[in-house]
Structure 1
Amino acid sequence: DLHIDSLIDKWRQVERNGLEPDPFVRHLANWLQAHKPAPAPMTLVHGEINNDNLLLGSDGDLSAVDWEFAHIGDPREDIGWYRTVSEGAVPPDLLADDIEGFCARYRAVTGLGADIINPAAIGYFGLLATVGVYSTLVGGPAAVEASPAAPVLAAYMS
């Protein structure tokens, strides 16, 4: 619960640090707080799992690379992030055609129950995962507004 609360708080920080109040972001944070899924055991989370960070070896083994965002967290963070970015930014979404089947296989391998691994929980973590991208989009203009000496990247991001 505390870990999920810390992820929700990132949305609240985005709203506080933006150029102006954002009722949608505040509503989203409140919705996330009110609809938290059942807690999962903490585990190693890749932090940016997507098709660009997966390698399929000639022997059929799958490897994940690019671990700079790795942390201890909720395993659904990776699944939610994957679903979010693979729908548009880094296609294809390999889970889209059978998310129920994926959840069943994930539960069989990990021993986690349907109360923890299910499509609704994965969607929930997809919302949590987008805070980093949204924060960058809001943070660029806020940095430029706060200081004329803001980095060029901040202006470019706005």
Structure 2
Amino acid sequence: MRRYTISIDGSDHEVDVEEVTANTFRVQIAGKSVDVRLRDHQDLAQAMITPEVEVGRGVVATAAPSALPHQAAPQPAIGTPGPGASPHPAAPAGGGAASGVNTLTAPMPGVVLSISAQPGQSVKRGDALLVLEAMKMKNELRATRDGIIASIPAEVGAQVKFGDELVVFE
């Protein structure tokens, strides 16, 4: 279980998050426990986020958008897209961090186990590109957009850090 202290409009709140499955979490907010399903995530530096916790068909909590500090650990967006967001997710579940439109970066430190794409290959959003092992778990990273792969700076067996460039698109 992880405990986060978040500040909303100057007021601090503690949020406990327990991972039930790979994309299902039990979240305790203000003494109320809710089950949350992660439908999409992006790890973007300086991202504007609007967290929304969805229980069944109703939205339980929504916070005003806030900027993530540059050095803050990445947090997945939970729930439905925020106001003005595209109804189509920007990255499929299991995808990596996107530091720019043309790159896929490591969403966490780990070791590259396999690479299933190659330079010059045309890929569709959601296609598997590589497998990153982190904390004894295999994480399949997928293309965040349609495109042609320009290069793959990552190598099988390489140790990567959060934010390291893994795949470059044309």
Report if TM-score (shorter chain) is over 0.5: no
Name the structure with the higher strand share: 2
Q: Which structure is higher in helix share?
A: 1
**Under a length normalisation based on structure 2, what TM-score does the superposition of the two structures give?**
0.25
* Structure with greater contact order relative to length (CA < 8 Å, sep ≥ 6): 1
When the two structures are superposed, what TM-score results if normalisation uses the length of structure 1? 0.26
